[in-house]
Structure 1
């Protein structure tokens, strides 16, 4: 199966204006084992916390156009990337990663990497089987120069994602504890995002009150506020 070399570059057209958020969280991952052991529990915990969550494999219809998947990612406030040993075996997963990094750089989409049974350095430096699987995926999905272009794009995206402050399963006693921390962090970041959105109107109201008070006090000379 081959993909067009313009697959990732064409996605930039969706970010020309301020994104219209549809989801709170998009979960990017690969692997049935990861879904059953970790992602399903994370998805359930987020849903119970009233966090509107989209999963790349489960919620997106099979055969869904790449363009629609890219819009779904751009329409999410937070992207959770679950890195595992099998992550680089999926072309779709890697293309989604490119889009997530693009959204992070373009409109500061919040990105939370989770390293599940894989070392951060393996992701950043494409070590051992993780790096070999990336090359195999590129050769399987592309041909000619497109293969090298894909490898370069994916390597950069993986390196950038690994450089973002994330969570490592090895620092927690079990999956449940990690899920709890992720849900708490997501809720905090969503609350902060809402405060950032409403901050300007609150300040504007404060300035209006100052102007009205000035009109009442004619004895003081007007001051210039820059």
Structure 2
């Protein structure tokens, strides 16, 4: 099954009607990221710290092109209370990553799934505006994964998802002395949110002029 076909199958099997009923949560946190280097380093440390804090965590797997595997990750996102999106310079090189991001924003807008973006060695403004190499990689990924009118549709959907996420409170790694401190801050935030009685009642979007917290 080609990537475009797999993506279409996943999309058709996970319409908004899937989220009309009360979601059944199987995971506390889903971590979305792109790039093997960041996966081996920062994301692996974050994943380990969350598990040590007894947070049920599902981590995105890179390079999943088979429809069944992609569908599994989409279902995991729909059954998760909080998603952590780790943006890096290579993030838009992964179509799987971007498709997951679309699903995350759908869940955020439909039932209030909490989204926590992390900007890892990339400016939040580059994510918001898809500037420079980040934006070029986005276009290249769309052309590699789709053809014809599907390219523009994918770019439009991905651009909207990126811009929306960049406007949500998150963290910029440049504001921390080292990764360990950032991991500690994220885990603390997650465990605090999970202690809230009405987790999905309180939302905290912020303006694009201040998209990070320290």
Q: What's the TM-score once normalised by structure 1's chain length?
A: 0.81
Q: Which runs of 5+ in 2 are unaligned?
A: 200-214
Q: Which residue of 2 aligns with 1:125?
A: 129
Question: Alpha carbons of 1:62 and 1:94: their partners in 2 closer, same or farther (altered >3 Å)?
Answer: closer
* 1:79-98: CA deviation from partner (whole Å, max 9, x where unpaired): 00000000000000000000
Question: Secondary structure at 1:3's aligned position in 2?
Answer: helix
Q: Which residue of 2 aligns with 1:3?
A: 4
Q: Which residue of 1 aligns with 2:192?
A: 188
**Aligned runs of 1:45-56 on 2, under 5 Å?**
45-56=49-60
Determine whether 1:88 maps to 2:92. Answer: yes
The number of aligned residues is 194
**How far has the Cα of 1:72 moved from its partner?**
0.6
Return the structure number with greater helix share.
1
Q: Which residue of 2 aligns with 1:219?
A: none
Q: Which residue of 1 aligns with 2:79?
A: 75
**Aligned runs of 1:155-194 on 2, under 5 Å?**
155-192=159-196
* Counterparts of 1:61 and 1:122, CA distance in 2: 26
Question: Secondary structure at 2:187's aligned position in 1?
Answer: helix
Q: Which residue of 1 aligns with 2:102?
A: 98
Choose which of 114, 118, 125 in structure 2 pairs with 1:110. 114
Question: Alpha carbons of 1:9 and 1:122: their partners in 2 closer, same or farther (altered >3 Å)?
Answer: farther
Question: Alpha carbons of 1:50 and 1:2: their partners in 2 closer, same or farther (altered >3 Å)?
Answer: closer
* 1:2-22: CA deviation from partner (whole Å, max 9, x where unpaired): 414745465223212111000
**How far has the Cα of 1:62 moved from its partner?**
7.6
**How far has the Cα of 1:35 moved from its partner?**
1.1
Determine whether 1:57 maps to 2:58. Answer: no
Which region of structure 1 is more displaced relative to structure 2, 67-76 or 45-54? 67-76
* Counterparts of 1:37 and 1:147, CA distance in 2: 32
**How far has the Cα of 1:102 moved from its partner?**
0.3
Q: Which residue of 1 aligns with 2:148?
A: 144
Question: Secondary structure at 1:36's aligned position in 2?
Answer: helix
8 Å CA contact 2:3, 2:65 repeated in 1:
no
Question: Alpha carbons of 1:10 and 1:37: their partners in 2 closer, same or farther (altered >3 Å)?
Answer: same
Q: Which runs of 5+ in 1 are unaligned?
A: 198-226
